[in-house]
Structure 1
Amino acid sequence: MKTTKESVFEFVQKQLMTNSDYKDGISTKVIADYFQLQRSNVSTLLNELVKDARLEKTNTRPVLYYLPQKEVGNELNTVGRVMIGIDGSLANALQVAKAAILYPNNSLNVLVTAKPGSGTTHFVYTLYLYGKEAGVFSERAPIYKINCRHYKNNIEELDEKLFSPKNIEDSLFAKSRGGLLFIDNAELLNSTEKSRLSEFLESGLLFSEDRKDFMDANSTFLVLSCGPNGYAEFSQRMSMVIQLPDLASRPLSEKLALINYFFMIEANNAKKNIEVKREILEALLLTDFPLNVKGLEMEIKRACATACVRVMDDPNSNIEVTISDLNNEVQKSLIRSRTQSTEIYDLLGSQMLFIYDCHEESQWIRYQDTHDLYAEIRSQYTELSKRGINTETIHNIINSHVNTLFKRYNYYRSYNDEYDTEQLSKIVDPKIIHMVTKIMDACKNELQREIQPQVFYGLCLHMNSLLTLQLNQSRVDDDQIVHIVQEYPKEYGISIQLGQMFKDTFNIELPIEEIVIIAMFLIKDEEDTEGHPVLLYIFHGKGVATSLCDVTNTLTHTNNVYAYDLCLEKDSTTALQEIKTLVQRIDNGQGIIVIYDMGSIKTMLDTISEETDIKIRYIYFPITLLGLDVARKCSQEIDLEYVYHTTMREMKTMLQMNDSRKEIIITLCHTGEGGAFQLKQYIDQYSNLGFKTIPLAISKRDELISQVMALKKIYRIHCFVGTYDPKLMGIPFVSMTKVFENKPEAIDKILMFEPIQSKQLDYSAVYSFLEEQFKCISVSKLKSILPSIIDELEIIYSLSADQKVGLFVHIACLLENCKQGVCKQACKDADTILEDYPEDFKVVSKVLKPLEKAFKVIIDDNQVAAIIMILNKL
């Protein structure tokens, strides 16, 4: 137990380090009032502390007590070397940080709040170095950082890494004992994780999921960071709060120091001197960067990398950064130079050129960037030069590549929630899905257009095929490589990034041919894809189609119906040309439905579709032939019933239009080997339609047309399935998006163009509710297991959406009650239900087995009976 003397010292130390009211010292009265002690007794204790050399006192009245200089002076060795603004905008933040680290017995946990990019990571790393130098941490003390934003779409992995509920010794709290654990963007933790964090802050203990085991992690120095929106939530739980200023709040002198520092870093990385004109420094000083210090750093890095490309073929030249290397917003800031000319002159003087020496070492240290940008630029330059691509094109490509690279540093990067990867992950490595998801954001930012989901799915399948594909054979000729590289430099630059991520993850380096194939996925189909399909009536006779068109438009108010009256006296050649002109005029990019009556109309439309690449689907309605046949029979027969029944029988045969050719499905990707083949396997595995599936490549359109034409002579082509619609010969298209956004059991409905709900049931609202209610069940584990159980029951019992949600909540709550040991009478007629539905009992019990095993519970017969009642709507 602490002595009164020790408690007084700790109180004095904390107040002197954190409270600016006591910067000159603290009086006996303040201490006596706090502890409710006699002033004479407090005075005795303070004098003992002075005698012990733990405090010093003034000769003034009243007497003030303060810490000896040696207690607070050793920070200058480290902090002064690593932090810009130690005596300026960061002075208060550093004072609080020092007090937290030096607090007796155990350092006090710290909350750092700041706007994105304000230097939180660098600041925390500085605290770690200072803690080592002050002797609070050992030389080998660990430091771990986990950024919650990186686990936005994988909260289970975050939970496992941070807390490791099953084995707490594997948690980052355990690994950080004796050192520092930094949880960045802590406001993104879910409610369960925040609850565990609060428990740790209060007790210093970390408990296992079943709470049978716990670990003392008091020696872990915890630093949380959050944005301004998370301040209120965390500040109440932590006594030491540090607010870092954003870049706009810092003086220009500190901003210049940061600019000089970042240019010096780039000179060292590039191994070349960097020359910067005065106007560049002025522009950087006057710009407000939304991402603060990080934004300033990235802008300088991008400018230097862009300038480096110009001197890549001259190893002895300096890198000359020009104003055009900066983005437009930074350049525009020079307009404000007049208003701050005096302050800028005081900082820069009359010097017009600044040279940063690549051999000069910085007085500041920082985290090292493991991504060697300049080595990558040199490698790309060499590779493209060997291919005979001209210098100007190479410069454009690498500049685009550099710009794409910096999208990685977007603090507000958000993954596209429209991509449903549940089914995709069954045949594609999750690491592939993760890296393609990341690159999609770069595509949107760099290409300034929306990337269609089918591109995402196609690229995932293609990249997955590269894991097993032999890459020693060239699949793209040199002419195609040069064409793609020179005509689509932005898409090529993004493809390089994906190739680098692939190499980093799987240690497989992709040749330039494969990079070009990836770029093909990203090249936009220039045809307009807006609008909707339209309807076209083509009937023989004057005014027949036109009258039907007028009635349809009048009744539907859609005005998307058109007509062509095929007069009997019109020759086929003229009719073909007129219909072709009409088809081209009315097509909105999504194709045409044609309702026609007889004759060679379908043959004409086949020809038009092949020549124009407009998709046309036919509905044969032989009303004219039917009328001719009935009129002929009526003139010959007297029996009404005979005419009626023979006509109906013949009409049924006529409408069937049997075709003896076997139907096939064609799956498409850029090579035909990777994604198309895997898509074929997926369809073959789950479809019961019996269609033959053939994978083809779409990279060369002429070859694709030739192959499809050859297949049409042998088979009836039911549809294409792939990354985008090739728009050939009116053959219908099924987007890969639909295939992978739905359960495998829905594949036949999708292939037969039957309406289907395109998204699976979203349980996010249910999860949010359960996280607030549950104490024993891990919602993270529930997410990974229960949805598949519900899906399995849905297949067997054809559940509605409402039933699925109700059943989901019922089973989840049942598990919670079982874990709590709460036994409830769920079904009064359990015995009757089990007797009347023995087969259901067997099925449900079997389906629930994985849940019982995962959560280590036993679901009794009474509860199974209740579930059977829900399933059968009893």
Structure 2
Amino acid sequence: MSKELAMKSNKVKVFEFIKEYSITQSTDEYPKLTTQYLSEKLDMQRTNLSSILNQLVKEGKITKTTTRPVLYQLANFQLTNQKDFENLIGYNQSLNEAVMLAKAAILYPQGSPHILLTAESGSGVKYFAKNVYDFAVKSKVLKNNAPFTVFDCKTFIENPTIINEMLYGDEVNTGLVHQTNQGMLLIKHVELLSGYQRTMLFSIITSNKMPSNQYVELPRNYKCIMLCAIASDASKDLYDLYRNKMDFVIELLPLSQRPLKERFALLELFLKQEARKLDRVLEVSTNILHSLLLYEVKDNIRGLKNDIHTGVANCYVREHDVHHHHIELLLSDFPNYVRKGMIYYKTFKEEIDEIIPGDCKFAFTKNEVLKNRAKENNANIYRTIDVRKKELKKQSVSEEQINTLVSLQLHQDFQEYLNELSNRVSDKEQLSKIVSMKLISLVERFITRVSSELAINYQENILYGLCLHINASLIKVSSKQRLANEEIKRMIDLYPKHYHLAKEFVHEIEEEFRVKMNIDEIIFTMLFILNESKPVTNKHVVTLIAMHGDSSASSIVNVVNALAMHNNTYAYDLPLDKSMDDAYEDLKEQIIKVDQGKGIILIYDMGSIRTMAESIAFETKIEIKYLEMPVTLIGVTSSNKASNNDSVDEIYEYLQTKFKDIKYFRKQSDKKILVIISKEQSEVTRLKSYLNEHFDLSNVTVHVIENSEANHLYNEINIIANEGKIIGIIGNNRPNLAQYPFAEVRWLEQKNAKTLEEIFIEEDEARDDINEIFEYLKDQFNEVDVDGIKDYLLDFTKSLEVTLDATLDEDQQIGLIVHLVCLIDRISRHQAPIVNFIASNIILNHGMLVSKVKELLVPLEMALNISISDAEIATIISIVKKR
């Protein structure tokens, strides 16, 4: 054993000597050493030394020649063991063009290239440049020990004199330009250089001279690969100036333009680095990963890294006294703007789910990412569900959440189950050896009926699979219900006809075999017949006729469908006594119901219907084309004229004149229109004065609507929209018109908008973001009635602003809402409260404030029958105050 230890120690000693000696030599490549030389320097016998050197060769740490004598050389293993630029995340994807240009620049036979890098702040310029340097060394364009120097002009922006001295030198010291001879120099933020400093730099680039510097002259053999990084938001003139002086221009994409897979790779890298620093395992939920993948990062890669570090640091402080090797990150550990990323989950759901499987728990160690994904393949769907539930219970997941997760995985599990069943038999003869002919006949008759009624053709595997499944269920009848009631209801609502057929079939099985089956069997039968649901009919454009009256539209639609015989025309009747808010929701429901994905032709009688439909189209993204047939309006006008005792000729001529130029289609116009809704003339005058004073209204027409009653408002908006493009609406209350931006009067002057369009941007986006966060929370926290508490939470945030005498920005509102929903979820699941060391100080020093906030939460506590502790309230105060 002592001999092995001595050998190990000697091998380390030999390698360290070769490495240190080689790095200190100023040669184009590492020096080649003989065994004799090493033996003398290390005072070792040549036989023992040769054995050690051969081991190092096998390990790839040194190389040897085939000459005599044999020469040994340090291998540049940090570079040779990987492909060029391989450690750059995205080197073969979003950074592929940048990498190819960098290689071309380094290998170009011209000599030392000058490269202009354009990038947003925090995009990894220094890291990219270091990879370019490594490639230059590996390609033997630079020596192994060539200098790599980085200078950031932004660091010394307050003192230009220091920039001169640092870069170009003075009477005492040589500058970085001189010191980096035969190496690579990266100058960051060259847009900040003064005119004099640029002149010096360009002189070096073009002629290797510094004519204005009386102290330092560059050596005759001066050779330096120079990378100049310029901010992407630098002026075009400045950019063009540098571009014209450089040999190559390379653009590094901002994080927002890089694929989500690359961003996830960055998350993995940074979280592993944090795990290494703390020597802990970091457990991270999918909610946090969603947020980190999708939030708007303020400083690109550097900002992402800093925000992750902030979250991990907060987590470490919170868990400091627990002394567990595993620590769990919480959303509350991160800044509010990070949590906001959740609102974009629905938009990128498919892409996100490919990267982050929903049934995984992530754990980041210093070297790897662990994903705990319970996967059990069984030819028994009940056993698969039971195993999945058992694994989830181990993770202390609530029963309701377990049901939700099982439901989400149901279709995937069923598909695997069907595949396994189908592989058991290849034909009906083989099937008959396992299953009785009575059952086979029943299933065949059922599938024939379904095929006929649903116009679907089924393959044989559905017959085999359903027979085997029913047979197994008959052998072991279970009254235990595995599927959640919510999933059962969802399936019934989505596929009512399939449910009716499956229910009758299961009832027939029960009667025939005298057994009692649970409702799960109906759902599984539905899954079998849904598996190959390929209707022979194609989707089409549909026509929707919408008119005022109890049955006006329905009567016309009955005639149309009877004559056309396609049954693709639908009706919406708007009773005159129905409120416009209810009418809006009813029309929206009908539009969603009849849409087949190809678009809708809407034929309507009055403008109020069109105005509502435009808003609904904006909300639902359903394509709608509009055609006005104003028979109701013509009839009303004729009736009014008749009541004035006008003659038939007078009425006829009036109607012809009034409606002769009627536009069946809304004309397109570039005219911009701003709408003010207010019945107060003084308010209208003040608003017009403010708008004229702060904005250019030369190409904008201002319309005022005094009556805000919904029906009148919709008709007025329809008329105005025929004149041009409505760019926004200003008023005291938001109308139900999603297609138009809206600004509330009371906040108008506080926005400090620079353009007319900016009046509407912030409020609309804030409203959309708040709604999106509630939608996301509703999907993620199934035990919490998010819809039911939405108004309570919004009221609380407003009241909290008054109590704390503070204005919450959008990020703070979203962060607070997310925290409260997480808190309610924890309380409802009887989980231990999160430790917050700041809370005790707040309770001690601001007890009155805690009491006031507690009063604000009473309605929420009563609604949910929960109690929120003073410590949790103090945490809420700390969240608002610190951010």
TM range (shorter): 0.3 to 0.5
TM-score, length of structure 2 as denominator length = 0.32
TM-score, length of structure 1 as denominator length = 0.32
